[in-house]
Structure 1
Amino acid sequence: MEPIIQESETHDRSGTHERSGTHGLPLVDSEAAEPVATRRSAGVAESSRANRGWWDGNADEYQQEHGTFLGDDRFVWGPEGLDEVEAGLLGPVEDLQDRRVLEIGAGAAQCSRWLAAQGARPVALDLSHRQLQHALRIDDLLNRDHTVGLVQADAGGLPFADGSFDLACSAYGALPFVADAELVLREVRRVLRPGGRFVFSVSHPIRWAFPDEPGPEGLSISASYFDRVPYVEQDEQGRAVYVEHHRTIGDWVRDVVAGGFRLVDLVEPEWPAWNTQEWGGWSPLRGGLIPGTAIFVCERQETATG
């Protein structure tokens, strides 16, 4: 596979400034003031635009901070550390051979790199060009051929033909950040072959009722679980620079069904004793009391109309 990041659409990076960095890539620097956090509505286009800019600007820091935990070619479903090697949510490892797999919100393609090592034929898709640059960087550091196809695109408009993939997956990628989850699910169903499986993980909805703190201060309910108003960070002009959307468990189930899938399993990983790492609001303290991740195991539902 040629080491080319295919872009499904052009985008303007004129507002960023680049300089030499320590990651083998130029660092993206921003002169913008610190954004202000609020709760307000944010539509499909605004959410996509804001999150593309945020991940382009924060990919360096994210990979530097979490790269060791994520590994270079490991498939981990969330901060608890549940590994696909143990979970087998995509199916038996031996069945991955020659399977076409789409990873959505792939970041630096760590999961796709693991899939390729199992004999699968993965494509790693991400909204952020910068994240995919890190995928190329890791390949170069490993002195490894570029066995994973890299595509920059929005999950709401997948640039693939119907029935292109056998499996799809997303580990905290795309779905928490999109305004229309049903649209994305329908797109995933479209590019899956009949009987195809889609497994995705998101921040567990119950966490939205608690402060995003890893210590004791994060154990008291501070908001309504049913408040679905998006979390938005915005600049001085009121333009969103980061957006995350909240859905309840019931909302997710309804979106999965409306998107054309059958829900096979809902996995809530328990915090393992070996994991002593804190990751934002995730921690051993909180993880031992409330779930931090929800993993939805879905299969393409066939209907009379296809």
Structure 2
Amino acid sequence: MTTTTLGVVQEWPQRPVTAHRRDAGEDESRGANGADWDRYADEYQATHGEFLGDVGFLWGPEGLTEAAARILGPLTDRDVLEVGSGAGQCSRWIRSEGGRAFGLDLSHRQLQHSRRIDEMTGVAVPSVRGTATHLPFADASFDVVFSSFGALQFVADIDVAVAETARVLRPGGRFAFSITHPTRWMFPDDPGEEGLVASQSYWDRTPYVEVDDETGATSYVEHHRTLGDWVGLLAGHGFRLTTLLEPEWPDGNDRLWGGWSGVRGRLTPGTAIFGADLATGTKVPTCGPGRDLTGDQ
């Protein structure tokens, strides 16, 4: 996105869109965001690929690395799932650290970029096309599940997504994710000084929706939850929150990344990172139909 002031016509990534605040369900969100990432993947990798690194793990535009933060815990000989893996940079780093990382993404084009980088680096990440609300893996398959800005804020049925994460984690497993900091929803999505003036309620959870001006089709959906919402979701599915980081914008980072910038990042957080452990003894649903790697997603 560039600016998200309601009613403002935008060019992102290529076609003009108009922003709205209205309800949007899981099917609409999934259809819009999958197609959006297919369109945007080439530009995204060209613009941010060097910053991300082919074998690198960043938690957000501030540049905080997992090597520095160690939110996931030990990785050697651990089975790890990245939800919203994109081109697999984070999972590739985990494999370089001795973990067995696997990727899942909604975008076919992002997964093509992942295969391209696999071949370039010689560090391959087995990946599958799928959704956070229907993970195509058996119960208790992973020691760690994580998402670095990859999926959760684009999901309408977030309760289902967190339940799916709990299902595929082993007891005591680790769940970590980064999202746009919830307080950012009070402000316009503008990297300049106009993005520092609160313009709407923090407690307004109405989704942000972009509509293609030419076709009338929904082209992008993002969902807002408060910090309290996220804590409640985790607790409700047997997770114990252990980590909540709000990275400060570091000196020397002069990148503009959508609404992220030094102008805003030195005054207000742009990213929230959660880390939680699944309580031992947590009961999960029995593995249902369609949870194999070859099933329709």
The question of a shared fold, defined as TM-score above 0.5 by the shorter chain, is answered with: yes
Q: How does 1:57-68 map to 2 (within 5 A)?
A: 57-68=39-50
Is 2:79 aligned against 1:97?
no
Q: Contact 2:186 / 2:198 at 8 angstroms: preserved in 1?
A: yes
What amino acid is the match of 1:57? R
Provide the TM-score with structure 2 as the length reference.
0.87
The residue number in structure 1 matching 2:248 is 270
Q: Which of 200, 209, 213 pairs up with 2:186?
A: 209
Of 82-91 and 258-267, deviating more is: 258-267
Q: Contact 1:126 / 1:153 at 8 angstroms: preserved in 2?
A: yes
Is 2:98 aligned against 1:119?
yes
The residue number in structure 2 matching 1:181 is 158
Q: Contact 1:101 / 1:167 at 8 angstroms: preserved in 2?
A: yes
Q: Which of 231, 242, 257 pairs up with 1:253?
A: 231
The residue number in structure 1 matching 2:30 is 48
What amino acid is the match of 1:121? R
State the shift of 1:137 in Å: 1.1
What amino acid is the match of 1:130? R
The residue number in structure 2 matching 1:3 is none
Take 1:283 and 1:277, find their aligned partners in 2: how far apart are those partners? 6
The residue number in structure 2 matching 1:6 is none
State the shift of 1:196 in Å: 0.1
Q: Contact 1:182 / 1:258 at 8 angstroms: preserved in 2?
A: no
What amino acid is the match of 1:137? R
Change (3 A) 1:145 1:295: closer
Q: Contact 2:238 / 2:282 at 8 angstroms: preserved in 1?
A: no
State the shift of 1:234 in Å: 1.6
The residue number in structure 2 matching 1:290 is 268
Q: Contact 1:183 / 1:259 at 8 angstroms: preserved in 2?
A: no
Unaligned runs of 5+ in 1: 1-31
The residue number in structure 2 matching 1:4 is none
Q: Secondary structure at the match of 1:108?
A: coil
Of 36-45 and 255-264, deviating more is: 255-264
Q: Contact 1:186 / 1:260 at 8 angstroms: preserved in 2?
A: no
Take 1:125 and 1:259, find their aligned partners in 2: how far apart are those partners? 21
Q: Contact 2:92 / 2:123 at 8 angstroms: preserved in 1?
A: no
Change (3 A) 1:262 1:276: same
Q: Secondary structure at the match of 1:96?
A: coil
Change (3 A) 1:63 1:304: closer
Q: How does 1:78-157 map to 2 (within 5 A)?
A: 78-91=60-73, 95-142=74-121, 144-146=122-124, 148-157=125-134
Runs of 4 or more consecutive aligned structure 1 residues displaced over 4 Å after TM superposition = 303-306
Q: Deviations over 1:184-227 (max 9, x none)?
A: 11101100001000110000011111111111111111111111
Q: Contact 2:71 / 2:243 at 8 angstroms: preserved in 1?
A: no
Q: Contact 1:90 / 1:167 at 8 angstroms: preserved in 2?
A: yes
The residue number in structure 1 matching 2:19 is 37
How much identity, in percent, do the aligned residues show?
57
State the shift of 1:303 in Å: 4.7
The residue number in structure 1 matching 2:55 is 73
Change (3 A) 1:304 1:84: closer
What amino acid is the match of 1:239? A
Is 2:270 aligned against 1:301?
no
How many residues matched? 270
Superposition RMSD on alpha carbons, in Å? 1.5
Take 1:303 and 1:232, find their aligned partners in 2: how far apart are those partners? 39
Q: Which of 216, 219, 224 pairs up with 1:241?
A: 219
Q: Contact 1:107 / 1:132 at 8 angstroms: preserved in 2?
A: yes
State the shift of 1:241 in Å: 1.4
